[in-house]
Structure 1
Amino acid sequence: MLDQLKSGELKKGDRILSENKLAEFFSVSRQTVRKAIYDLEKEGYLVTRRGSGTYVKSMRKDKENIGILTQSLTDYIFPFIVMGAEETLKNTKFNSFIGNAKNDPVVERETLERWMDLGLKGMIVDPVVSATKQANVTLLKEISEQIPTVIINSDLNIPYAGTLVLNDYECGSFAAKKFIELGHKRVAVIYKAVHKAANERANGFIDTINEHKQILLYELPFHGQETSDEVFNLIMSLLSLPKNNLPTAIFCSNDLVAMQVIMAAKKLNLDIPNDISLIGFDDADFAQALEISTFRHPKQQFGEKAAQMLLKMIEENNNGKPEKIVEKAEFIERNSLIQKK
C-alpha cells in the first residue's frame, strides 16, 4: 500500500478498503493490517475519521493542491467561476479540488474538514447560507488561520481570509433609483434571505425606496431554492393582488427569480414590461434571451481574480493583511423596463 501511495496510484481523498478486505487482499492477518494502517497514519499518509472510514491524506510530494468549494455546481454561475479559477491555476504547481456543497452547510462542513485532513495549501470558498446562523463562519475562521483562504460572494468579516465580493448594496440602490426615475409608485423586491449577497442587494433597494414615502414597497424574502414551488407560489400571490395594489416594478436578487416572475406573469396574463417592469441580477445566459434587464456578474473573471488572490497569499505565506476587493457589477438594460405613465 505504501508503494501505491508514493507512486500516486492512490490519490488524496481516496477511501481505502476495510481491514477485513485488506487482510484478504494482501493475505495477511487483520492485526498486521491494523498495525500497517497505524504506521501509515503516524507517517501522515492516512487519516481515519470515526464512523466514516480511512482516507488517503498524502499524495506524491511533487503535488500541491488547493480546493475550490462552490455552493452548487449545477447553478448557472458557479461553473464559470470554477473555470476562471482553473484557468489561472493551470500553469502553476497547483492542482485543484472542486467541491460541491449542494447548498447544504453540513455537506460544506464535511468537505472543508476533509480537505483540512488532506493538507491542502489553500482554499477558495463560496459559502452557503451565509446570512444565517447555520453558516460555517467559525470553521472558516479556523481554516483561514491555518492556510490561505479566499471567501467569495459573501463578506463574512473573517480577519485572516481574503474577500472578493460585488458592490451588491449599490446595485440594489441603483435598481431602486431606476424604478423611481421611470415613475413607478408600487415596487417589490424578491430575494433569497439565507444568502448574504442577496440580502445586501435587497437592503440597498429597500433603503433607497424608503427615502421616498410616496412609494409602496412589497418585500418578499424566501429561504428555499429559486426554482422551488415556494418561490413560484410566493410570486403568484404577489401578482394576484388587485390591479390597484399590484406592483408595477420588481427587483429580483438573481435572474432565476426574475425568470420565475416572467413565468408567473405569463400564467396570469400579465405583460413584461407593460404591466410589470423587471430587473434581475447575474446576467445569466437566459437573461439575454428573455430580455431581462440585469446586473452582470463577472463570473469567469471573478474566479480568475479569486485564484490570483489565493496565489498571492500562498506566496506571502499568510504574511500581511489579506485583501478585500469589491468588484463593480455592470448594469445591462434590456426590454424589461418601461416608463410608467
Structure 2
Amino acid sequence: MSRATIYDVAERAQVSISTVSLALNAPSKVRATTLSRIMTAIDELGFTPRAEAASRARKRLGRIGVMAPFTTYPTFARRLEGVLEAVNGLEYEVVVHDQISAAAAAPVLAGLPLTHRLDGLIVMSLPLAPDVAGRLRGKTLPTVLVELARAEFSSVSIDDAAGGRLVAEELTAAGHTRFGFVGETQAAPDFASQCQERLAGFRAGLRDAAGADLPDSRVRLVENSVDAAAQAAGELLDAEEPPTAVFAHDDYLAAGVLRAARARGLRIPGDLAVVGFDDGDLAEALDLTTVRQPFRESGRVAAQILLDRVREPDRPIQSTRLELSYVRRGTA
C-alpha cells in the first residue's frame, strides 16, 4: 500500500493543498472546524509529512517546547526558570509557546506532533482535548503535563484540594466562623479546574475542622482581574453578615479582595483575614498570607522527566506530586 500524500489528505478533508500545508505549519491560522477535518483525515490516512519521515533517521533535534499561558499568569515565568535550570549546560534549546487559554492552545497542540520540530513538549496548565492527547501519543512526541494530569502522560502536579483544606484548617483554628471565597470562572467545562479543586477542598476542610458550611451565596467566580475580584469581594463584604475571612483562588484575586476591604475601612487582619494561593512575587509585596506552591521546582522536575523520556522513550509513565506549604504573613 502506497504512503498517503498531502494530496490524499486534501481530498479527504475537502480542502486545498495549501490549507493542509497551513494546518501543518501554522495551525492557529486555520479555522477550528477546518483544522479538525484536516487532522481527522491525517489520522485516518496515517499521513506522515515528508520532513517528519526524514527526521526520524536523524539524531535528536536538541529542542524542547514549553507551552503555557505566560502572559496571562506571570507566575509561569518562574516555572520556566526551572525548565531552563534543568537544561542548563545541556545541548538543548527551549522553544516557548505562549498561549492565553486552552482554546487558543488547541490548534497549535493539534499540529505540533506532525511538524516534528521538537524532541519533546511540556504543557503547563492547559488541558488536552481527547483528540489532541491521542495525537500526541500516537505520533510519539514525548509530553509532560504540569498542573493537570492525565493517566497516559507523565505529569508534575500539586494537590489543589489539599491546599484548600489547609486554608480551612488554618482559618478555623484562628477562630473564624464566617467565610467567603473568590475564584476564577472556568472557561473550559470538561475538566475540574484548579479553582474547583481548591474550592472543594476548602469546603470539605471547613466541614471537617469546624462543622462550618460555605453556601453558594458566599462564593464568587470572576474573570482573572483585580478589578473583578474587588467588585466580587465588595458584594460579600456588603452583605448583612459579611465573612470574617476570605480565601482567594490565587494571589492576584486576593489583591482585589484586599482592595475592596480597604475601600470599606476594614482592618486587615483584625476585621477581615485574607488568604491567597501561589506565593508569587505579588504575595510578598502585599505581605499576603498564602499557600506556597513550588513553581521553579515544578518546571525543573518536568524538564528532567521529559529529557529522560526523550533519551528513553519506553520509560514508564511518571507522576510527581509536589508539596504545598502555608505561608503566614500580615493578612491572616
1:315 is aligned to 2:311: yes
User: CA offsets, 1:242-268, max 9 Å, x none?
Assistant: 2xx110011111100111100111112
Q: Which residue of 2 aligns with 1:184?
A: 176
Shift of 1:162: 0.5
Among 288, 291, 294, the residue aligned to 1:292: 288
- Cα distance, 1:107–1:239 mapped onto 2, change above 3 Å: same
Matches within 5 A, 1:125-164: 125-128=123-126, 130=127, 136-145=129-138, 146-155=140-149, 157-159=150-152, 161-164=153-156
Identity of paired residues, percent?
A: 22
Pair 1:248 & 2:244 matched = yes
Distance 2:112 2:227 in 1: 31
Aligned partner of 1:11 in structure 2 is none
Counterpart for residue 263 of structure 1:
259
Matched, 1:174 2:176: no
Q: Distance in 2 between matches of 1:199 and 1:232?
A: 20
- Indicate conservation of the 8 Å contact 1:313/1:322, yes or no: no
Query: How far 1:218 moved relative to its partner?
Result: 4.4
* Contact 1:88-1:304 at 8 Å conserved across structures: yes
Aligned-residue Cα RMSD (Å) equals: 2.7
1:283 is displaced (CA, Å) by 0.7
Which 10-residue stretch deviates more, 302-311 or 167-176?
167-176
Q: Matches of 2:239 and 2:225 in 1, distance apart?
A: 21
Alignment partner of 1:225: what SS?
coil
Task: Quote the residue 1:302 is aligned against.
Answer: 298
Superimposed CA distance per residue, residues 39-76 of structure 1 (whole angstroms, 9 cap, x where no aligned partner): xxxxxxxx954484784967996633221000233522
Name the CA distance, whole Å, in 2 between partners of 1:100 and 1:125.
11
Could you tell me which amino acid in structure 2 is paired with residue 172 of structure 1? G
**Post-superposition shift, 1:189?**
2.1
In structure 1, give the amino acid aligned to 2:243. P
TM-score w.r.t. structure 2 length?
Answer: 0.76
Q: Which runs of 5+ in 2 are unaligned?
A: 1-5, 8-16, 27-50, 187-191
Decide whether aligned partners of structure 1 residues 248 and 49 sit closer, same or farther in structure 2, where only a CA change above 3 A counts.
same
Match of 1:333 among 308, 328, 332: 328
Amino acid corresponding to residue 321 of structure 2 in structure 1 = V
Shift of 1:228: 5.2
Aligned to 2:85: 87
Greater radius of gyration (CA): 1
CA contact (8 A) 1:292 1:334 kept: yes
